[in-house]
């Protein structure tokens, strides 16, 4: 049995991102997110800007990335 940790636990807030899918000249698919590229305080998530072999994978990545939890800033 897992015992829940007591303390100041908060649900992560959701931040809306608007990723887009493009196809490169080599016919690979890319998911780009302007919000991630413009955020100088965080690393770009895995998969954003990476060439993908099929559009279905790109669509799943875009959909999963569209609403992602905001990381709490360290105090």
Any domain includes 22: yes
In whole angstroms, how far apart are CA 25 and each of 9, 19, 22, 29, 43? 46, 19, 10, 9, 26
Any domain includes 5: no
Any domain includes 65: yes
Domain count, the chain: 1
Strand partners, 52: 29
Q: Is 38 helix (H, G, I), strand (E, B) or coil?
A: helix
pLDDT at position 17, please? 86
Any domain includes 23: yes
Domain coverage including residue 23:
15-69
Any domain includes 6: no
In whole angstroms, how far apart are CA 62 and each of 56, 67, 71? 10, 9, 19
Any domain includes 1: no
Query: For 12-69, how does the pLDDT look when each residue is reduced to its tens digit (9 = 90+)?
Result: 455 678 999 999 999 999 999 999 999 889 899 999 999 999 999 999 999 998 866 6
């Amino acid at each position: 049995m897992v015992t829940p940790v007591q303390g100041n636990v908060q649900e992560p807030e959701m931040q809306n991102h608007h990723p887009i899918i493009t196809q490169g000249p080599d016919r690979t698919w890319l998911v780009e997110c302007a919000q991630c590229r413009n955020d100088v305080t965080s690393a770009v998530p895995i998969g954003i800007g990476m060439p993908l072999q099929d559009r279905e994978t790109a669509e799943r990545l875009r959909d999963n990335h569209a609403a992602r939890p905001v990381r709490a800033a360290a105090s």
